[in-house]
Amino acid sequence: MQIVGLDHVQLAMPRGKEAQARAFYCDVLGMSEVPKPATLASRGGVWFERGVVKIHLGVEDEFRAARKAHPALVVTELGELIRTLAANGYEVLEDTGIPGVCRAFSHDPFGNRIEFIQDVTASGHNN
């Protein structure tokens, strides 16, 4: 047996806040919403994808944001994303804690922590 990939990351969200999720994950991050299977749609929540990246937001009645646990998304233009997040009212914390890695942290509308890492192979530079 081998683990050969990661299908998706599941984050929690409060009930009835799907429009806020769409505004962040689609409008700010550029992901696309994908329909949930009919058997799961009645539970609420929303699923997003971009390429091989899949993020599922599921409703949690006693919702608590993930303040430490988080997905780390690789992006091609970290500086542009930081400006987009800030322009949309999201606080961004740039981090230099790992030598040679450009990264930043922000939170989705529900307070879930999201890490963004610069893909230096795609852009050819470190910012």
Residue 124 in this model has a pLDDT that exceeds 60: no
pLDDT in tens, 104-122: 999 999 999 999 999 877 6
Single pTM value for the model: 0.90
SS3 at position 114: strand
9-123: which CATH number, 3.40.980.10, 3.10.180.10, 3.40.50.150, 3.20.20.70?
3.10.180.10
For the chain, what is the radius of gyration of the CA atoms? 15
Give percent of the chain above pLDDT 70: 95
Domain ranges of the chain: 9-123
Tokens of 97: 């804690």
pLDDT in tens, 53-96: 999 999 999 999 999 999 999 999 999 999 999 999 999 999 99
What pLDDT, on a 0 to 100 scale, did the predictor assign at position 119?
81
